[in-house]
Structure 1
Amino acid sequence: MTPRNMLQLLPMAGHTRGNRSAATCHFKCGDACAKDVCNTSDNSYFRDIADQALSRRAALGLGGVAAAAVVVGQQLASAPSAAADNGGFGKGGGKLPFQAIAPVERTVDAVTVPEGYDWAPVIRWGDPLFSSAGDFDASNQSAEDQKQRFGYNCDYLNILADRGNGTTGVLVANHEYTNENVMFDPAWLEANPDEARLTAMAAHGFSVVEVRRDKAGQAWKPVVDGKRNRRIHMHTEFAVDGPAAGSDLLKTKDDPTGTVVWGMNNNCAGGTTPWGTVVTGEENFNQYYVGRGTPEEARYGISTEPSSRGWELTEERFDAKNAGYENEANRFGYIVEIDPHDPESTPVKHTALGRFKHEGANVTIAADGRAVAYMGDDERFDYIYKFVSRNKYREGDREHNKTLLSEGDLYVAKFNATSAAEIDGSGKVPSDGAFDGSGEWLPLLVRGTSRVPGMSVEEVLVYTRLAGDKVGATKMDRPEDVDVNPATGKVYAALTNNTRRGTDGNALADEANPRSRNRDGHVLELTERNGDAASLTFGWNILLVAGDPSVDTTTYFSGYPADKVSPISCPDNVAFDSVGNLWISTDGQPGTIGYADALHKVTLTGDERGRVQQFLAVPNGAETCGPVIHDRENSVFVSIQHPGDDGTWDEPTSFFPDYVESRATAGRGEFFGPRPSVIQVFRTTGNNGNGKGRGPKK
């Protein structure tokens, strides 16, 4: 593929719902919504098993689990008295009081925050991590230069403060994908196609950046030449571990051992482990590779056509038709563990956690001390997974704990219903007043042995989607972030949407996915049996069925009045504050309910369970990613990804966060156009924040 204006080639142009950017669909996930459904398995629908549901629950001893999920609000009422701050209103204490903002029109090119708050960028695409890079000059880019700078399209985010007085720490962030149409001068792109592709490869990956502040509670600033500063990119060496390491399915011409991989790509969400490392998930990796047309490649959405990015024109490893590279794509799609405190450490791809389009992973410690990771496969009709380590967590033994994700048991979720016969795809709440039921973690790999008929251990871990198909996992509506509430142990899963549900011979609606043509998504709440993350059974209920209640009667908010919530659509990432309130960032609201993507807080307890309040909105074309809630310090952090994605170098559609008037007036290190950035939102001492979007904050 020769470089050209990518906007001329977008399959989604004219086919996106509402105002969704065709450029975002193209660059982020390779136009997945325009392509055939990958999961063509005939797994049972809820309706097929309705008569078995009660007997199954009885056999599993789950008679009380589903009921417990329904009354979870009462169960959690005994949480700490400081629990819900309710946005500064209603009952409960308050850690981060705010008045919910009104939804913001999608074309507003500003960060909008509540009254009494302000914002500032912490770090932007192109900002130097090392002094040798100098000021950012978008007109003078190269691969080697980009390797010294903060990458493009930051997603997963965390701020890890060092022990002590809390004035130093590290910022960690993924760089999911690139948009060459916005990043590069088209004349340079045309003249330097290989260098442009190599620069894009360098802008993918991960950043570790030391940060500093004067005292706890104040704004963080990046430290150039910080001792822990690091860029991980498509030419960084990764180790492969776990049961599939060394498998013939992972060997290539460049790595005949099947244990070394160069790079990671399309990393989306992630999490920080209890031992202080970071795990991040490779998501839409399929779009980077040219396949041979095998059934396994088709299940992962790998096409035989030239890739949209054309990396195979610069490096032959991206084309499986090239001898020796048949398995290259099998080396992507894993959970990666990175030690942000050791810049000399080798990142590890953990095959034990399976291979699929990982949104991310979030790790907790089970009652018996084993590490448990929850994961979603971000594809229509794909699955929710859980990994349970073989060995146990040891407090203070960091080196031992860094091996916990290398060996263990892998499961996939099956959801059973209580009111299957009442689900007709309309979204109507069942007569018992809730969408709820029981569930099972179906074994894929246990004690080093495959539990999937006809599949070896290596096949289960490299072709995990096919393993989930064989055991009869429940087809879900794009499961993305799955995380554990640290205050309660309950698990929350964001199901972003699935407009193919109930159409064209695809899976029908079921109680865990209750709407046909589900464009707005929903959020599930799981309660592991006895509160133990290592349990093999769970209860579940739907916390909210998203949408704009003013125009959509199918929305549901756990019984909270729909006319008293902020509209919300396409839940993506989930996070928690210090007392266990749920925070949800969105990806796709402009194309569904017509508003800018946003960050919302959801109360989980008491009379206000299900109350959604919008905290911020992001600029034109952007997505809200990686929320971090430091409510004890009156701060919220988010990654603002793909602002102005449908613009071009010459005609930007966003100017966040520099907001310069023209390329000629851009100052040192500034850019005429959008720059994906990490921002910090903070509470002001007076009434300085007026709730209106504003320009740059330096």
Structure 2
Amino acid sequence: MAKDFDTMEDSNRSANPSIHEVSDPARRTVLRGGVGLTVGALLGPVAACRQVPAAPPSPLGFESVPVSTADTVVVPPGYTAQVIAPWGDPVGLAGAMPAFRPDAGNTADEQAVQMGMHHDGMHYFALDGSDRGLLVMNHEYVDDGLLHPDGTANWSAEKVRKGQAAHGVSVIEVARDGDRWNVVRPSRYARRISTLTPVAVSGPAAGHPLMRTAADPSGRRVLGTLNNCASGITPWGTYLTGEENFILYFNGPDRPDAHAARWGVTRRGVGMRWAEHDERFDAVRHPNEPNRFGWIVEIDPMDPTSTPVKRTALGRAAHEGATVAVTRDGRAVVYSGEDAQFEYVYKFVSRDRIAPGGAAANRTLLDHGTLYAARFDADGRGRWLPLVAGEGPLTPQAGFADQGEVVVKTRQASDLLGATKMDRPEWIAVDASTGEVYCSLTNNSKRGAPGQPGVDAANPRARNVWGQVIRWKEDGDFDGTTFTWSHFVLAGAPEHGGTVRGDLFASPDGLWIDPRGVLWIQTDNSSSTGTYGNNMMLAADPATGEVRRFLTGPRQCEVTGVTSTPDLRTLFVNIQHPGESPVAARNEPAWPSLHSRWPDGGRPRSATVVVRRHDGGVVGT
């Protein structure tokens, strides 16, 4: 999501050490494969006696593309990029396929059956191998200056409903026809899930007093999901979507109580303006409504009649997404990062093993297990701290009467346990073959500012606008409670302290490890000028640290969301908010944008790009 980094949420006032306080300033990152080694004592005797194997041939077999400021998508020689499924195209519901109006004049009801705005995380679910499948994707937020013909002028209930309908998740069917891919319309799988869709609540917060409202006294059924950012998939065939910066949608009191303040609920002069015409987003009148957002939502894409479920056992946070690993004994482990300055990294370990039989056999698997927050220690070691009511300081006297209260107040519980404050942890990628877990720390413009944590080896730059990627490996298995950590790369140019080996980039955001073990990195830099140009997607070899730029997007976009067909011959990449400024969706005037007219020469539209090699070979080799 495009962000004004100086005004984004920063509500962690706990005294916990931030990651910079647990690192030795003399320590620097060295990339040598495995989980990475560091100079000095980061890995202690383990690093000292480790044999470094000879570097294998690079898996990056493409010619890198240059930095770009062009209003187009650029891919390497020998590749082609095709645009499909832009915002406003019909998803393919039979009998409900309104065309996109170039003047953005579609109604709220029409938007409810069209592709949402601002494509983000996504996954390809195969129906017929690598030739036909479902693309399930998030729509993170909206830019009201583009969504309506007259922008934010003449604000109305209809504009609020249209914005709500443009949020959420789309399920579309796609099929390959020779070298091109098409959206299948109509499709029995086609579906839109938005802020207006009924969603069930499960797990320890279901029915909890903190989840009850006048509209839902049971506390078990929420209207909608919003600000859906990164995504994940489960081994049983479902889709996980994270509700990220949900708090920006609520108008709060001038003087919030401690709970509301910790979550950033306050009176807002700018924002989505939904509270003006939908009172549930007025947290003064409905103080529990914000508690009903910030969850991981599970969706069964194969059953268009199924109800999405908010899995509260995974904790409430500004969730970027959720990435699933599997222990050797068959239990699910869900990693998630919280995209806010100085917030936390989480892990959930299921109590039960994954059952054969797909989604139907695992409908409650994510409702039972243990939630943890990460602590990164000074010696290169780390520990997962259990967020369990009644254990340690999480007592009724401290405000945690039961597990429902712990998961609703996940941030406060993590504060109390002493978890490590991080610099906007976003996407997480797991390499199942090596056991390594990667997390993008996109940036933190408040690092080193007056009254804020300072700099050191882990966060070595004040006003850090470049970001980094950290990685760790659990001791034993993915359910381990301790781990070893280091940095994979510090982004940015060498003169800014960067350690990039290859093509430069800044503000890492989206991460994905393909079946070959290549780490794909997508960027969310707020500028389309200077050293880094437009946002991009790069491929990195974890064994050597080599990075090559594979794709650049159009002006003012974010490159986010990547998935592939099983044969790796088709790559799907999302282009979000082309032509948008860093303060999008906040009382902007109407289009035209001065920045972009991608993809079709008119009003800029988020869309999916299909990348293939001319010879039909494996992408990236």
CA distance in 2, matches of 1:85, 1:632: 20
Aligned match for 1:540, one of 460, 463, 485: 485
Describe the superposition over 1:461-496 as per-residue Cα deviations: whole angstroms up to 9, x where unpaired. Answer: 011111111111111111001121133221000000
CA distance in 1, matches of 2:46, 2:467: 24
Describe the superposition over 1:185-211 as per-residue Cα deviations: whole angstroms up to 9, x where unpaired. Answer: 118x64562211111110000000111
Describe the superposition over 1:369-425 as per-residue Cα deviations: whole angstroms up to 9, x where unpaired. Answer: 21100000111111111000111112334323232111110100111123xxxxxxx
Distance 1:73 1:479, change over 3 A: farther
CA distance in 1, matches of 2:19, 2:512: 30
Query: Which residue pairs with 1:351 in the alignment?
Result: 312
Distance 1:358 1:69, change over 3 A: farther
Aligned match for 2:110, one of 141, 145, 165: 145
Distance 1:643 1:651, change over 3 A: closer
Query: Which residue pairs with 1:586 in the alignment?
Result: 523
The SS at the match of 1:628 is strand
CA distance in 1, matches of 2:47, 2:571: 30
Alignment of structure 1 residues 35-434 onto 2, 5 Å: 37-44=10-17, 68=46, 74=52, 85-88=58-61, 98-105=62-69, 108-129=70-91, 130=93, 131-139=95-103, 140-162=105-127, 164-186=128-150, 190-191=153-154, 193-214=156-177, 218-292=179-253, 293-306=256-269, 308-322=271-285, 325-418=286-379
The SS at the match of 1:466 is helix
Describe the superposition over 1:89-141 as per-residue Cα deviations: whole angstroms up to 9, x where unpaired. Answer: xxxxxxxxx10111113xx1010111111110121111112352232214431
Query: Which residue pairs with 2:36 in the alignment?
Result: none
Query: Which residue pairs with 1:677 in the alignment?
Result: 607
**Normalised by the size of structure 1, how large is the TM-score?**
0.79
Decide whether the 8 Å contact of 1:480 with 1:494 is kept in 2.
yes
Q: Return 139-148 or 395-404, whichever deviates more.
A: 395-404
Shift of 1:166: 3.7
Amino acid at match of 2:517: G
CA distance in 2, matches of 1:261, 1:71: 54
CA distance in 2, matches of 1:334, 1:686: 40
Aligned match for 2:539, one of 589, 601, 612: 601
Amino acid at match of 2:100: F
CA distance in 2, matches of 1:449, 1:277: 32
The SS at the match of 1:213 is strand
CA distance in 2, matches of 1:358, 1:76: 39
1:34 aligns with 2:38: no
What's the Cα RMSD here? 2.7
Decide whether the 8 Å contact of 1:268 with 1:360 is kept in 2.
yes
CA distance in 2, matches of 1:247, 1:170: 35
CA distance in 2, matches of 1:683, 1:365: 32
Distance 1:125 1:76, change over 3 A: farther
Decide whether the 8 Å contact of 1:69 with 1:527 is kept in 2.
no
Query: Which residue pairs with 1:95 in the alignment?
Result: none
The SS at the match of 2:225 is coil
Distance 1:123 1:47, change over 3 A: closer
Distance 1:193 1:267, change over 3 A: same
Query: Which residue pairs with 2:28 in the alignment?
Result: none
Describe the superposition over 1:418-458 as per-residue Cα deviations: whole angstroms up to 9, x where unpaired. Answer: 3xxxxxxxxxxxxxxxxxx1100011127x96862422322
Decide whether the 8 Å contact of 2:525 with 2:558 is kept in 1.
yes
The SS at the match of 1:337 is strand
Amino acid at match of 2:452: N
Amino acid at match of 1:641: Q
**Normalised by the size of structure 2, how large is the TM-score?**
0.89
CA distance in 2, matches of 1:70, 1:611: 23
CA distance in 2, matches of 1:67, 1:400: 45
Shift of 1:548: 2.1
CA distance in 1, matches of 2:393, 2:180: 50
Query: Which residue pairs with 1:618 in the alignment?
Result: 553
What is the total number of aligned residue pairs between the two structures? 585
Shift of 1:679: 0.8
Aligned match for 2:388, one of 442, 445, 451: 445
1:483 aligns with 2:429: yes
CA distance in 2, matches of 1:572, 1:258: 34
Describe the superposition over 1:496-521 as per-residue Cα deviations: whole angstroms up to 9, x where unpaired. Answer: 01121222121233544333322100
Decide whether the 8 Å contact of 2:438 with 2:471 is kept in 1.
yes
Decide whether the 8 Å contact of 2:67 with 2:532 is kept in 1.
no
Amino acid at match of 2:86: R
Distance 1:121 1:67, change over 3 A: farther
Q: Return 480-489 or 302-311, whichever deviates more.
A: 302-311
Amino acid at match of 2:72: A
The SS at the match of 2:377 is strand
Greater share of residues in helix: 1
Query: Which residue pairs with 2:446 in the alignment?
Result: 500
CA distance in 2, matches of 1:580, 1:485: 7
Decide whether the 8 Å contact of 2:90 with 2:99 is kept in 1.
yes
Structure 2: gaps spanning 5 or more residues: 25-40, 582-588
Distance 1:653 1:348, change over 3 A: same
Decide whether the 8 Å contact of 2:430 with 2:437 is kept in 1.
yes
Alignment of structure 1 residues 631-642 onto 2, 5 Å: 632-642=567-577
Structure 1: gaps spanning 5 or more residues: 1-22, 26-30, 52-62, 89-97, 419-436, 660-671, 690-698
Amino acid at match of 1:261: V
Decide whether the 8 Å contact of 2:18 with 2:342 is kept in 1.
no
Percent identity of equivalent pairs: 39
